[in-house]
Structure 1
């Protein structure tokens, strides 16, 4: 059985005149000064549940690279881990939350699943400037799935969770161009899972 689900990705590039590394301190100081102080605060929490049916796939979280300031172009590597991190190259400053895309599925323990990432293992982001690309796309599926092998864009895993329920995460390397136009860059991608 084949199931396909789409995800959404985003990468924000801060463009308020602070693209040069020397201006970073000014941007941070401005952000601190312009943040209002409150004498008291309260927090609200949300709760949610995801219902999975056998031989299904559901998107749980979107892929998000956070905010980026570039000074000559470079890369941001987002790890597809439960606690994802973003590792920027030398000419990139990164801030904000990194979030790997998360998908949930339900099959039968011991059976194989083939996770097919986008063609070419790449995702294109469009925005106000030249397109940016996530290349290569990476997959992490433990502890619910045991990695077997990868051929091209196919990632073969065995379901090891006795319940048959599993999560896997999508990350990758964002390629940021030199003098990338500031603004919001977004894209969509399809993930396909074949159950065997």
Structure 2
């Protein structure tokens, strides 16, 4: 009797293992491909490096200081100079707005950035005068035409102190140009 039941028991165990394995596999998520591939494209345009050249210095001419602080303004559009406040006196000399030329890749757009302020230093002493309110003669974002060049001008305001010390005052400022 044992001999006949033993194969049935083995068969039952085998069937149970197969059923248990099937149940386990049925509860696993469907196996998908572990690898997928697609192609993308990449491109760039190499453009000419930007350059900017100063054509005309920003020059406030000669000034006689007053007894009060004064603000002297050079107009960015026409280069005219005026006393915005105070009692300084304009005394001639070379007056000019700053003028620049940008050389860039034709038919592109650039952004021009001006400084907030700078200082002019007396060449014969420690005195300074502040230059601020830099302004462009148009929008800061500009289109470069087919020629690859663009001219622009800037104006600014000079603060002359009451009884400012005599001397020649000079300084520099940064104008930045970037492709857009």
The TM-score with structure 1 as length reference comes to: 0.59
- Match status 1:125 vs 2:109: no
**Partner residue, 2:58:** 63
**Partner residue, 1:137:** 134
**Partner residue, 2:73:** 77
From the two aligned structures, give the one with the greater helix fraction.
2
Contact 1:78 1:87 in 2 (8 A): yes
- Which of residues 147, 158, 163 is equivalent to 2:142? 158
- Match status 1:93 vs 2:89: yes
The gaps in structure 2 that reach 5 residues or longer are: 1-47
The gaps in structure 1 that reach 5 residues or longer are: 1-52, 142-146, 148-154
Greater length-normalized contact order (CA 8 Å, ≥ 6 residues apart): 1
From the two aligned structures, give the one with the greater strand fraction.
1
CA-to-partner distance for each residue in 1:131-174, whole Å, 9 max, x for gaps? 11111111114xxxxx2xxxxxxx3x121544231111122010
Deviation of 1:110 after TM superposition, in Å, equals: 4.6
CA distance in 1, matches of 2:149, 2:162: 43
**Partner residue, 1:176:** 160
Larger radius of gyration: 2
CA distance in 2, matches of 1:59, 1:130: 26
CA distance in 1, matches of 2:89, 2:106: 42
The TM-score with structure 2 as length reference comes to: 0.63
**Partner residue, 2:175:** 191
